Amino acid sequence: MQPTWHILGPGAIGSLFACHLQRAGFPVVLIGRKASPSPTSILLQEGDHTQSFCFECDDGQRPITHLLITVKAHQTDAALRPLKHRLGADSLIVLMQNGMGAWETVQQYCPETVCLLATTTEGANRPAPGQVIHGGSGTTYVGALAPDLQACAHQLCAQWSGLGLNLQEDQAILRQLWQKLAINCAINPLTVMYDCPNGALLSNAEALATMEKVCKEVETVMTHALREPAADLFELAKTVATRTGHNRSSMLQDVTCGRETEIDYITGFLLREAKRFNLNCPQNQALYDQIKR
């Protein structure tokens, strides 16, 4: 029998995975906010194809064996706290979100569970409750923080191989997460400062100069954290800004809608790591302060 997957945070990415898991034969239960209960049905649009999925409501009682967390990083604490008594040594948690550091919350509330990390370049948006558009295909990388849990990441990739999404086991998931963090540090706060789509940063000399300084600082911290030389992050950030030129970053969307941003788990995480290694990141600190303001 297929295990039941609980999805904590049935937003754009959570709903996308919920639909694909159910289509692949897994029972799926959505867990939303108490104040705004999760939808019981989702209409998934992928290209010209639209399909409707119905989901079971969470009964709030049953032990949870498989949990996919897709709330935003800063929402992890409030979302996970009420579930901690339902998670134990037999539970598997997959943390799939932008930013780094929310695994500390998982370790705090569920120290016995196996926690895997995932990062995705799938693109999804939720124009209305119960409606999700899979706007762009990408790759989802899955790995473990601790080397002894790598076998669990391998098993998960095998279990999810029929999802119809591009999945990759990554034995160096931390490097993958750091690279995504670097791109987020380089692009997201600047799109807020200049109130522009990603690509517009490339034709703005002032923004580009700041982006280069941001990337140099991230490279230094990343080299200390991973104990290996970092890639040329400025080139990487420019490539991503070109490829996603028309996109408005998630941070810009959050600020525009008056929502809290993920800055504490993006630039904030970088600054905490910099402090651990006695490094200064004045450019990132300035952007962090401006976004917080």
Ligand X SMILES: NC(=O)c1ccc[n+]([C@@H]2O[C@H](COP(=O)([O-])OP(=O)(O)OC[C@H]3O[C@@H](n4cnc5c(N)ncnc54)[C@H](OP(=O)(O)O)[C@@H]3O)[C@@H](O)[C@H]2O)c1
Query: Footprint of ligand X on this chain (CB under 6 A)?
Result: 8-14, 31-33, 36, 70-73, 75, 78-79, 97-98, 120, 122-124, 126, 250, 262
Name which of 13 and 142 has its Cβ closer to ligand X.
13
| Closest CB to ligand X among residues 120, 159 | 120
Measure the CA–CA gap between 187 and 237, rounded to whole angstroms.
Answer: 7
Closest approach of ligand X to the CB of residue 58, in Å? 10
Nearer to ligand X, 54 or 158 (CB): 54
d(CA 206, CA 105): 37
Amino acid in the structure at residue 238: K
Catalytic status, residue 275: no
Alpha helices in the chain (DSSP H): 12-23, 76-80, 103-109, 150-159, 173-193, 205-226, 233-243, 250-256, 267-276, 282-292
Shortest approach of ligand X to residue 280 CB, angstroms? 27
User: Which one of 34, 72, 180, 238 is the catalytic residue?
Assistant: 180
CA distance linking residue 142 with residue 239, whole number of Å: 23
Q: What's the rounded Cα separation, in Å, for the pair 139 and 166?
A: 5
| Least Cβ distance, residue 83 to ligand X (angstroms) | 9
Least distance in Å: CB of 97 to ligand X? Answer: 3
Q: Give, in degrees to the nearest 5, the angle at Cα 120 between 253 and 123.
A: 50
Contact 266, 188 (CB under 8 A): yes
Residue with the shortest CB distance to ligand X: 11
φ, ψ for residue 101 (rounded to 5)? 110, -15
Q: Tell me, what DSSP letter sits at residue 146?
A: S
Amino acid identity at 158? A
In terms of CB distance, is 104 or 206 closer to ligand X?
104
State which residue, 70 or 176, has the beta carbon closest to ligand X. Answer: 70
State in angstroms the smallest separation of the CB of 260 from ligand X. 10
Residue numbers annotated as active site: 180
